[in-house]
Chain A
Amino acid sequence: MPEGASAAAAVLLAGLASLRDTPVTGSARTPYCMMGVCFDCLAEIDGVPNRQSCMVTARPGMRVRRQRGAREIDPHDLPGELPSFPIPAARSGGA
């Protein structure tokens, strides 16, 4: 793997069957455009989800994890209780 190659290229070189599963139907995807346009290469890189792996340079020791569906939010990362937002009742007759 030459210096400067992307994390997405490293994953393809490793022969992984897919880089992510789509949030809607869970189908497997690998990178499509390799130039930062399609976002089909989204992966978790060094613990940070939703990164465009084709735009991230591969480095020794980097951890690229397959992303399943949308990114997860760990409730332990959130400060205290989740705030709740009351939704105002719909008014009739308005535009």
Chain B
Amino acid sequence: MKIDFAIVGAGPAGLAAAALAAELGLDTLLIDEQEGPGGQIYRAIERADAAGSSSFGADYLAGQPLVAAFRASGARYRPATTVWHIDPDGTLSLASNGASDTIHARRILLATGAIERPVPIPGWTLPGVMTVGAAQILVKTADLVPEGRVVLAGQGPLLYLAALQLARAGTPSASLLEMTPRENYHAALHHLGGLWAGRHAVAKGLGWLVALRQAGIAVRRGVRGLRALGRERVERVVWEGGEIAADHLFLHEGVTPNTQISFALQLEHRWDETQLSWRPDTDAWGRTSVPNIAIAGDGAGVGGAEAAALAGRLAALDAAAVLGRISEAERDRQGQPILAALTRERTIRPFLDALYRPAPAVLAPADDGVIACRCEEVTVGQIRRAVRLGAPGPNQLKAFTRCGMGPCQGRICGPIVGAVIAEARGVPIRDIGTYRPRAPYKPITVGALAGMGAAE
């Protein structure tokens, strides 16, 4: 099958891009791993009704018009489908229902969003320890509200939002352990200009704090040295100077771009020292170092859902211009107000990035016993030992320890490995580099591969 425009990921960036691209006359296909549109932020949004979803608030329901516009646009849709390889010639290899097929697209947009930053603490592999995003997904998709004593730990807007959502959804009592380093407050003050421009976002954040208090959630600040303890599952959460009994521990230290496919494609990336993450090099339209591949949304640098939708529209306009549906002048004319809105949306970021910058001990845990690679169960101490034995970077580390060689393909341990090696060698993370991910981006069965030829 040959199409104009393939979009990978049905979150805000992908949905907005698909709707506009189809409207501009491009034969557009939106491919997504989930069964319904929305990505992680608007997960199960089509199941939500305005009245019944009050625990998620207006920010969540903002996904409804996006999905409605996409559904009405005429863009094609392949849900429950995994993109497991992209060839720079425009061929995408897809897997769904245990079978694999390929399509060819004249232009490809990666809208693969963000993933939660790993929070490697002692005990983070214990049953009962999950990410804050996981807790949200369980409520959104399964009406599953954690029972018992709930502890949320880490920092960032999503942590407060999730605590509030859990309280509204019926979690009886929760404690929030804020791990924001004290020096972050001073650093964030330098971004007061951004704070003024982003005052709506700040007001929203202050509103959450008030609501947390009203919801009876105990907030403890300046928490360091967090550990999860328990035999069969998490039983206690301990930190420097305190401890609390826990049946669930939800961790969050912000999100980072999901760069698995962009690195596999060997697009140009650079280290972003303010967001402490790698991001692909993109221009204002989302163009990358490979001419027919663009990236929009958090996958190109974390900016949030509203910024992602705007970036998706810019990428759609550019695709229409490149593929000859509109002129470059028309692209610029329609793009100008979107670009202005995107700039406004991003003004708050430097403030948020400075305020919620992860502590060095979150990036590279001091405790040698902490597991870095959850799949192969490689500890931080084993990584430090491998560096002493001469492993200079993440890819050599694989041969020394199998770190990053399990089923997640380094998605979780990648950031930890980069930070630990950098610390051990005394060089900046940007000089360490990353794993080089390869296809298949997600495991597929030999049966699905073998069936490809027969189906074509």
Same complex for A and B? Answer yes
**Hey, which chain A residues are within 8 Å of B412, CB to CB?**
32-33, 37-38
List A38-86 residues whose CB lies under 8 Å from chain B: 38-40, 42, 48, 50, 52, 54-55, 57
B34 touches A55 (CB 8 A): yes
Nearest Cβ in chain B — how far from A33, in angstroms?
5
Contacts of B127 in A (CB 8 A): 17-18, 28-30
* Chain A residues, Cβ within 8 Å of B408: 37-39
Q: Given the known A-B contacts A12-B138, A33-B134, are A38 and B144 also in contact in the complex, defined by CB atoms under 8 Å?
A: no
Secondary structure at the A interface, as helix, strand, loop or mixed, is: loop
> Residue of B at shortest CB range from A35?
B40
Cβ B232 vs Cβ A28 within 8 A: yes
Interchain CB contact under 8 A, A9 and B443: no
Which residue of chain A is the closest to B118 with respect to CB atoms? A38
Confirm or deny: B157 has a beta carbon within 8 angstroms of a beta carbon on chain A: no
Which B residues are in CB contact (< 8 Å) with A55? Answer: 33-34
For B98, what are the chain A residues with a Cβ–Cβ distance below 8 Å?
48
CB nearest neighbor in B for A6: B141
Q: Which of B177-185, B188-196, B370-378 contacts A (4 or more CB under 8 A)?
A: B370-378
A1 at the interface (CB under 8 A from B): yes
Indicate if the CB atoms of B376 and A24 lie closer than 8 Å.
Answer: yes
Chain B min CB distance to A35 (Å): 5
Known contacts A30-B128, A31-B130, A39-B375: A2-B47 contact under CB 8 Å: yes
State how many angstroms separate the Cβ of A21 from the closest Cβ of chain B: 11
Q: Are A37 and B141 in contact (CB under 8 A)?
A: no
Q: Does B129 contact A (CB under 8 A)?
A: yes
Give the distance in Å from the alpha carbon of A82 to the alpha carbon of B44 in the complex: 46
Interface size class of A (residues with CB under 8 A): 35 or more
The range of chain B's interface size is 35 or more
Mask, B24-53, CB within 8 Å of A = 1, is 000000000111100010001001000000
B306 at the A/B interface (Cβ < 8 Å)? no
Whole-angstrom distance from the CB of A36 to the nearest CB of chain B? 6
B130, B142, B143 pick with most chain A CB within 10 angstroms: B142
B235 at the interface (CB under 8 A from A): no
User: If A5-B142, A13-B144, A39-B375 touch, does A34 touch B443 (CB 8 Å cutoff)?
Assistant: no
- B181 nearest CB across to chain A (Å): 24
B residues sitting closer than 8 Å to A (CB atoms) are 33-36, 40, 44, 47, 80, 98, 115-116, 125, 127-131, 133-134, 137-138, 141-144, 232-233, 258, 374-377, 406-408, 411-412, 442-443, 445
3 nearest A-B residue pairs (beta carbon):
A34-B134, A5-B142, A9-B142
Instruction: Sample 21 A-B pairs with CB under 8 A, ordered by A number.
Output: A2-B143, A5-B143, A13-B142, A17-B232, A18-B127, A24-B377, A27-B377, A30-B233, A32-B130, A32-B131, A33-B130, A33-B133, A34-B131, A34-B133, A34-B137, A36-B33, A37-B115, A37-B258, A39-B406, A40-B374, A50-B407
